[in-house]
Amino acid sequence: MANGMDDRRKGLEDEYFHRKNQEAIEKLRAKMKVAEEAKAAGTSSMQCPRCDGRLHEAEVAEVTIDTCDKCGGVWLDSGELAQLTTKKDPGGWFQRLWGGQE
């Protein structure tokens, strides 16, 4: 009799984890869909860390950065600051701001 209860518990446990996995998959699919729609619209699916506005991609000195539509904040991904600072354009605004003209 104990073996029958163990089989039932195992079946319920398997059903529970299957249902949780399906829910997680659906959440990931929804996030991927939002990201694809945002990319098609030219916006980012990410929210501004400061004000929860939407981030939009902008091109500055051939580097793509994120700007917030609400607060106007500028957010750089990994490596973007290095790309902006290593540009050898002496007339560029970033070089004038940080290092002067060389």
Residues in the chain with pLDDT values less than 50: 101-102
Task: Tell me the pLDDT of the chain averaged across its residues.
Answer: 80
pLDDT of residue 35: 76
The full set of domain ranges for the chain reads 2-98
pLDDT of residue 88: 67
pLDDT of residue 15: 95
For a pLDDT cut of 90, what percent of the chain falls above it? Answer: 19
The predicted-structure confidence for 46-65, as pLDDT tens digits, reads as follows 788 888 788 888 887 788 88
For a pLDDT cut of 70, what percent of the chain falls above it? Answer: 78
Q: CB of 73 within 8 A of CB of 50? A: yes
